[in-house]
Amino acid sequence: MKIKAILAASIAVAFVAPAFAADEFYVVQDPKTKTCTVVDKKPVDTTTTVVSPSGTIYKTRAEAETGMKTIKVCTSH
């Protein structure tokens, strides 16, 4: 019975953990075009740069879009 409970808990965690990770939004800037956008995954390549203050992670897209309006490099162009 213990093995079934552990297996069931492991399966539940496997499905729930990625859902929590999806609640991350970042403000990034394309260094060539100087255009800022909101993305739902932290960039791992060099085509964009996170420009959120101190690498801020926003919980919603709307929060990130509002934050983007206050970031100087996003509003100066």
5-56 pLDDT tens trace: 454 555 554 555 455 556 899 999 998 998 999 999 988 888 889 998 887 8
pLDDT band at 66 (very low <50, low <70, confident <90, very high): very high
Under DSSP, the state recorded for 54 is G
Q: What is the three-class DSSP state of 48?
A: coil
pLDDT at 68 over 50: yes
In a domain, 5, yes or no: no
pLDDT score recorded for residue 10: 53
The parent domain of residue 38 ranges over 24-77
pLDDT at 59 over 60: yes
Q: Please state the domain count of the chain.
A: 1
Residues 6+ apart with CB under 8 A from 31: 48, 49
In a domain, 10, yes or no: no
